[in-house]
C-alpha cells in the first residue's frame, strides 16, 4: 500500500493543499513524488489566526478539493501549518533515568521530552511542540543522538512551542470539517526551514524568517538544532496598508501596485516614472510617482528589518549567525529585500525558495517560489517525522464540545505515537 503525505498551509493570503507519495531512491533514501496541488484565496484568516470558522473552512475545502481532483484520490490526513501572534516559545529541561544494561532507548528519550514539556502555561495555552535541542548523557553535553549509549541519566535541553487552545481548536476544526485528520500541527517557520535552509547553514548558525501576509515567523538554528523562535506581528499586508493610506486607494489597488511596481530601492527608479490607479472619491484613474510608491514601501520594510534585528539581539544569538539571514515567504519577493537586509543587519542575507535539489519530484514552477516554502516544507516535515525527536501533545480532557467525533480517533493515534516501538 502506497504511503501518502499531505500538507495544508492555511495562511493569511492563501490556503495551499499538497499531496505526495513516499518512496525510496536507488540509495534507499526517502523521496516524495507530488501527486496533486490545490489552492484558494484565504477567507476568515487574520494575521495567521482563524477569525471566521465557516469562511476559513470553505477556503480549506476549495484547496483540498482541487488537490484531490488533481491527485485522483481522497485526502485522509494532513500536516497543518500553524502561526499567529498567540504562539509563545521557551526552553526547558527534562530528565530520565536509564537502565545501564540496555543503554539509552527511545522510551528514555520520550520520557525526558515529556518531562521537559511539563511546564506551567498560562490558562488557555497548550504545548504544540517539544523539540530536543541537545541531549546530555551522564554529564556529556551536546549529544545529538543518544540511543544505544551506556548511561544512568539522560537529560534533554528542549524548545517548547505553545499556543492558544482556542486558536488551535479553531484551526483544527477547519480541517476536521472535511473529514481530514490532523497528523500534526507544525509551526510554520519550522516547516519553511525544511524547504529553504542548507545543511551547512543550520550547522554554522542561521536565522530564517518566513514573511507572510499577516505575520513574519523567525526561527534560529545553530549546530543543526532549533534554538529560538518568535512570531512577529508584521507582514506583506502592512506594506499594502501603508500604500493604501498614502495613496488614498482601496487595499486591493495598493496590493496590485505593490506587486506590479513595488521595489525597496527607490533611488534606482526614474523620478519621472508614473503609474496609474483608481483612488477613493474619483471615477477616473490618476497618476502617481512610482518612486514615491517605492519610498513608502521602503520605509515600512526598513522598520521590519530593524524589528528583526531587535529580535535577534534580544535572543542573544545575533553574534552566532555566520550564515546570516534567510528570507522566505511571499513578502520576501519584493525587489530589494536582500540589499535592505544587508544594510540594516550587517550580515549575509539571501532569499530562500524550494529548489530542484529537494527530494521531491514533480514540483511545478509555481511551487518553486518563496511563497510556497511552508507548503513544501510541510511535506518534507511529514516525510521525515519518524526520524525526528519531536513530542506532540494535545490536552484531550476536557474536549471542546465544538470538535467533531473524529478528533477522538486522531487523539488516540497521537497518543499511540508517544509510545515506544515494541518491535
Which CATH number covers residue 274?
Answer: 3.90.640.10
Residue 406: the pLDDT is: 36
Domain co-membership, 362 together with 258 = no
Whole-angstrom distance, CA of residue 343 vs CA of residue 196: 22
Residue 176: the pLDDT is: 96
Domain co-membership, 92 together with 60 = no
Domain hosting residue 105, numbered range: 88-166+393-418
Q: Is residue 267 part of a domain?
A: yes
Q: Is residue 171 part of a domain?
A: no
- Report whether 211 contacts 225 (CB < 8 A): no
Q: Is residue 242 part of a domain?
A: no
- CATH number of the domain where residue 161 is located: 3.30.1490.110
Domain co-membership, 130 together with 218 = no
Residue 411: the pLDDT is: 38
Q: Is residue 172 part of a domain?
A: no
Domain co-membership, 95 together with 145 = yes
Three-state DSSP state, 140 = strand
Q: Provide φ and ψ at 49, rounded to 5°.
A: -120, 140
Domain co-membership, 279 together with 404 = no
Residue 36: the pLDDT is: 96
Residue 395: the pLDDT is: 27
Whole-angstrom distance, CA of residue 232 vs CA of residue 209: 10
Grid cell, residue 320, equals 552566532
- What's the number of domains the chain is made of? 3
Domain co-membership, 311 together with 230 = yes
Residue 271: the pLDDT is: 92
Domain co-membership, 158 together with 253 = no
Side-chain-facing half-sphere of 133: CA atoms under 13 Å: 20
Q: Is residue 356 part of a domain?
A: yes
Residue 2: the pLDDT is: 58
Residue 84: the pLDDT is: 87
- The model's pTM is 0.85
DSSP for 162-214, please give it: EEEHHHHHHHHHHHHTTT-EEEEEEEHHHHHHHHH--HHHHHH-EEEEEE-SS
Domain co-membership, 20 together with 124 = no
Residue 378: the pLDDT is: 96
Domain co-membership, 338 together with 404 = no
Residue 258: the pLDDT is: 95
Grid cell, residue 88, equals 509563545
Residue 284: the pLDDT is: 83
For 57-67, the pLDDT digits (tens) are: 999 999 999 99
pLDDT tens for the chain, 423 residues long, are 458 999 999 999 999 999 999 987 777 788 899 999 999 999 999 888 999 999 999 999 999 999 999 999 999 999 999 988 889 888 899 999 998 888 898 899 999 999 998 888 888 889 998 988 889 998 888 787 888 888 899 999 999 999 999 999 999 999 999 999 999 999 999 999 999 999 999 999 999 999 998 899 999 999 888 889 988 989 999 999 999 999 999 999 999 999 999 999 999 999 999 999 989 988 888 899 999 999 999 999 999 999 999 999 999 999 999 999 999 999 999 999 999 999 999 999 999 999 878 999 999 999 999 999 999 999 999 998 743 433 333 323 333 333 333 333 343 333 333 333 333
Amino acid at each position: 500500500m502506497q504511503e501518502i503525505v499531505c500538507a495544508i498551509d492555511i495562511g493569511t493570503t492563501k490556503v495551499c493543499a499538497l499531496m505526495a507519495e513516499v518512496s525510496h531512491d536507488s540509495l534507499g533514501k526517502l523521496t516524495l513524488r507530488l501527486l496533486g496541488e490545490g489552492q484558494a484565496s484565504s477567507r476568515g484568516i487574520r494575521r495567521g489566526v482563524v477569525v471566521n470558522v465557516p469562511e476559513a473552512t470553505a477556503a480549506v475545502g476549495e484547496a483540498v478539493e482541487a488537490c484531490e481532483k488533481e491527485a485522483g484520490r481522497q485526502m485522509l490526513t494532513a500536516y497543518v501549518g500553524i502561526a499567529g501572534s498567540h504562539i509563545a516559545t521557551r526552553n526547558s529541561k527534562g530528565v530520565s533515568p536509564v537502565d545501564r544494561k540496555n543503554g539509552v532507548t527511545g522510551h528514555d528519550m520520550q520520557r525526558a521530552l515529556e518531562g521537559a514539556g511539563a511546564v506551567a502555561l498560562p490558562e488557555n495555552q497548550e504545548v504544540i511542540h517539544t523539540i530536543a535541542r541537545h541531549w546530555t548523557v551522564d554529564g556529556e553535553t551536546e549529544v545529538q543522538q543518544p540511543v544505544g549509549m551506556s548511561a544512568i541519566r539522560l537529560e534533554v535541553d528542549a524548545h517548547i512551542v505553545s499556543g492558544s487552545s482556542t486558536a488551535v481548536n479553531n484551526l483544527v476544526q477547519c480541517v476536521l470539517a472535511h473529514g481530514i485528520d490532523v497528523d500534526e500541527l507544525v509551526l510554520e517557520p519550522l516547516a519553511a526551514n525544511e524547504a529553504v535552509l542548507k545543511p551547512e547553514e543550520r550547522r554554522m548558525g542561521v536565522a530564517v524568517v518566513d514573511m507572510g501576509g499577516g505575520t513574519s515567523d523567525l526561527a534560529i538554528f545553530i549546530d543543526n538544532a532549533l534554538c529560538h523562535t518568535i512570531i512577529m506581528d508584521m507582514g506583506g499586508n502592512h506594506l499594502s496598508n501603508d500604500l493604501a493610506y498614502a495613496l488614498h486607494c482601496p487595499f486591493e489597488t495598493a496590493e496590485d501596485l505593490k506587486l506590479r511596481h513595488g521595489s525597496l530601492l527607490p533611488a534606482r527608479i526614474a523620478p519621472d516614472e508614473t503609474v496609474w490607479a483608481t483612488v477613493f472619491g474619483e471615477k477616473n484613474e490618476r497618476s502617481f510617482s512610482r518612486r514615491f510608491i517605492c519610498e513608502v514601501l521602503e520605509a515600512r520594510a526598513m522598520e521590519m528589518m530593524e524589528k528583526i534585528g531587535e529580535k535577534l539581539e534580544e535572543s542573544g544569538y545575533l553574534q552566532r549567525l555566520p550564515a546570516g539571514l534567510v528570507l522566505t515567504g511571499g513578502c520576501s519577493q519584493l525587489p530589494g529585500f536582500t540589499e535592505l537586509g544587508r544594510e540594516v543587519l550587517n550580515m549575509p542575507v539571501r532569499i530562500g525558495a524550494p529548489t530542484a535539489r529537494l527530494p521531491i519530484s514533480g514540483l511545478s514552477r509555481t511551487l518553486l517560489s518563496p511563497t510556497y516554502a511552508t507548503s513544501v516544507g510541510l511535506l518534507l516535515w511529514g516525510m521525515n517525522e519518524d526520524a525526528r525527536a519531536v513530542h506532540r501533545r494535545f490536552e484531550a480532557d476536557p474536549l471542546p464540545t465544538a470538535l467533531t467525533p473524529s478528533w477522538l480517533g486522531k487523539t488516540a493515534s497521537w497518543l499511540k505515537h508517544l509510545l515506544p516501538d515494541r518491535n
